Amino acid sequence: MKLTGAIFDMDGTLIDSLGFWDILWEALSQRYGDFQPDPEANRTVRTIPMKEAMYYLHDRFGLGPNGETLYQTANKMLGEFYEQQVELKPGVMEFLTQCRDQGVKMCVASASDLKLVRMAMAHCGIEEFFPMVFSCSDIGKGKEEPDVFLVARKHLGTPLEETYVFEDSFVALQSAHRAGFPTVGVYDRYGFRQDILQETATIYIAEGETLMKVFDQ
């Protein structure tokens, strides 16, 4: 393989953060009555911008007084989580350091708000690796479409066939794959359909493995 560019998802790929959703469901249940989204809704909200996700939950389930209230609640909680609790997944710092040392151009493409992403990067000490971060909120489309990856690659200026997209979401990974990117599928204990993620990925990082596996290919 030849790796000259890397586009990283944040949640579930670089940082161990997807457990936040369980915290959020508990908090919303305490405010509005017992709530647990069905599997389809759970998958949907993890691949679209937070504001869109909260409006979706209100419209579909009648949760909360309105979507904006849900968004403000979730955004505040997520900010506190990113700023105080979130941690890198094992091997991430080592991998990013080696990418930098080998001249790999890197950026982040996230469904989360840019301010929150930068808070998480600051807390985890990885800001130096990512001078540029792209958000689905700014692009205007979630990761079910490849737009955020295409914009990120254009910024990197690296060849499509040498620009790997790193994702834990099978929806996002399939989107990047359809756009022609080589991909790295990253196992996360909160992830859905690991079978599809593994089948789609050019390289699959299984449970117990780290991103350093990429350099063994």
Q: Where residue 19 falls among pLDDT bands split at 50, 70, 90?
A: confident
Cβ proximity of 16 and 40 under 8 Å: no
Q: Which CATH superfamily includes the segment(s) 5-17+87-216? A: HAD superfamily/HAD-like (3.40.50.1000)
pLDDT at 191 over 80: no
Q: Where residue 52 falls among pLDDT bands split at 50, 70, 90?
A: confident
The predicted structure's pLDDT at residue 16: 87
Specify the amino acid at residue 165: V
Q: What is the rounded average pLDDT of the residues 76-83?
A: 86
Q: Where residue 41 falls among pLDDT bands split at 50, 70, 90?
A: confident
pLDDT at 211 over 90: yes
Tell me if the pTM is above 0.95: no
Angle between helical axes of 67-84 and 114-124 (0-180°, round to 10): 20
